[in-house]
Amino acid sequence: MNRSIVHMDLDAFFVSCERRNNDQLKNIPLIIGGGDRGVVASCSYEARKFGVRSAMPIRMALRLCPDAKVIRGDYELYSNLSHMVTEIIQEKVPVMEKASIDEFYLDLSGMDKFFGCYQWTQEIVAAVKKETGLPISFALSTNKTVSKIGTGESKPVGSLQIKESEIKPFLNPLSIKKIPMVGDKTFQLLSRIGIRTIETLSEMPVMVLQQMIGLNGKELWKKANGIDENPVVPYSERKSISTEKTFTNDTMDIIELKRLISGMAEQLAYQLRQEKWLTSTVVVKIRYANFDTETKQHKVAYTSADHTLSRVALELFNQVYTRRMRLRLVGLRFTGLVHGNHQMNLFEDTEEQMSLYQTMDYLKNRFGADAVGRASGFDFEK
């Protein structure tokens, strides 16, 4: 049985949320992001015409589009609307994966026996627009890669159906940049030897690609040929990652406790980035020597940044540790996870911070997770 996989993407999600609540923001160049040293979290199509893109430094964006209006963003609004859309879709389909705050995959395989998958998806989109007022695009095909590329080609507020026989003709003329796993470095590397279209990439020997870019070469070749067996992973609100430390001897060494929590935050944030998760809730847990256990949690804008998560974790520890008693355990948990890259939420990040994370993660990937870390959470006795 051929699979029927839909990719849905809320168009310029942060921008659409702001415009939903303020008509004066419609039809003008709009940028969502941090201050002068921050980066663009999202931008309107009017701003994109001037070359503005997500993750671009705000300063550069304003040089390209001086008349753009910059808004820092309202995390609570975006989170609530994303949850509304999630519930609408989840009620109507057998299997849904929430790939990020504004992206969804649906597995409608077999449903065409009862109801046309394309028509069914159109009705879901109509329900989202009616109940939330948010624009959404989608594409239907036989796998996740082709559907995601199709959604990108259908934007804004568009739809595509790419049947199995149409996959190669659809993909071939497109730039290799359209393949989700092709970043700037891979694009530049392939471009230097004349590989710029998906058709050219699909005709390359797999061994050559593996020699050029490593183990991902085979996966890239498969995607260029419209092959993707990855399943749609059912979405669960309950996913979390956590770590905790039980002390051999109960302690009330505040400096050591804060160092430990900071290190935990860095460790879990690195895990988030490696597994392409973002978290929206930080939970700190402590257990006193008499076994009394207390927790404290705080909502944050979806992120995987050490500096944000560590700061919130330490603030929560200060709030929850109120007794002058020794502790036997401390723990940290990140919940409310959605799949996505850190670039989705850059309300407070700067260019320098983004560059720092890329460098630190590269070193950790190459030399081990403990190869480099922030001094505040580093155990110098190891």
Residue 235 lies in a domain: no
Residues 185 and 221 in one domain: yes
User: Best-predicted range by mean pLDDT among 268-282, 341-355, 367-381?
Assistant: 268-282
Whether residue 348 is predicted with pLDDT greater than 60 in this model: the reply is no
Q: Which residues are annotated as a binding site?
A: 9, 102
How many structural domains does the chain have? 4
Residues 103 and 216 in one domain: no
282 with 268, same domain: the answer is yes
Same domain, 131 and 112: yes
SS3 194: coil
Catalytic residue of the set 18, 46, 97, 103 = 103
What is the tens place of the pLDDT at every residue in 31-47?
A: 998 766 688 889 999 99
Q: How much of the chain exceeds pLDDT 90, in percent?
A: 64
pLDDT band at 301 (very low <50, low <70, confident <90, very high): confident
Q: Are residues 313 and 259 in the same domain?
A: yes
Residues 244 and 362 grouped into a single domain: yes
CATH code (residue 54): 3.40.1170.60
Neighbours of 318 (CB within 10 A): 13
Task: Say if residues 269 and 377 touch (Cβ distance below 8 Å).
Answer: no
Structural domain including 218 reads 169-225
Residue 217 lies in a domain: yes
Q: pLDDT at residue 345 above 50?
A: no
Domain edge (last residue) among 143, 167, 191? 167
Residue 378 lies in a domain: no
CATH of the domain at 93: 3.30.70.270
Any long-range contacts for 112-118 (C-beta under 8 Å, 24+ apart)? 112/4, 117/4, 117/6, 118/159, 118/161
**Does some domain include residue 150?**
yes
Q: Supply the CATH number for residue 307's domain.
A: 3.30.1490.100
127 and 55 in a common domain: no
Is 194 a domain residue? yes
Domain boundary among 167, 192, 213: 167
Residue 374 forms part of a structural domain: no
Q: Whole-angstrom Cα distance, residue 367 to residue 342?
A: 22
Together in a domain, 263 and 325: yes
Show binding-site residues for Mg(2+): 9, 102
The residue among 128, 148, 167 that closes a domain is 167
pTM for this entry? 0.73
The verdict on residue 269 lying in a domain is: yes
Residue type, 73: G
Single-letter amino acid code for the residue at 302 = Y
Task: Check whether residue 253 and residue 359 sit in a common domain.
Answer: yes
Q: Is 103 among the catalytic positions?
A: yes
Q: How many CB atoms lie within 10 A of CB 295?
A: 13
Q: What is the CATH number of the domain that holds 195?
A: 1.10.150.20
Cβ-contact 272, 327 below 8 angstroms? no
157 plus 38 within the same structural domain: no
CA distances from 10 to 61, 148, 368 (A): 22, 12, 37
Domain shared by 246 and 343, yes or no: yes
Contact 31, 47 (CB under 8 A): yes
Residue 231 lies in a domain: no
Tens-digit pLDDT profile for residues 206-264: 999 988 888 889 999 999 999 999 999 888 765 789 999 999 999 999 999 999 999 99
Contacts of 247 (CB under 8 A, 6+ apart): 327, 328, 329
On whether both 247 and 336 belong to a single domain, the answer is yes
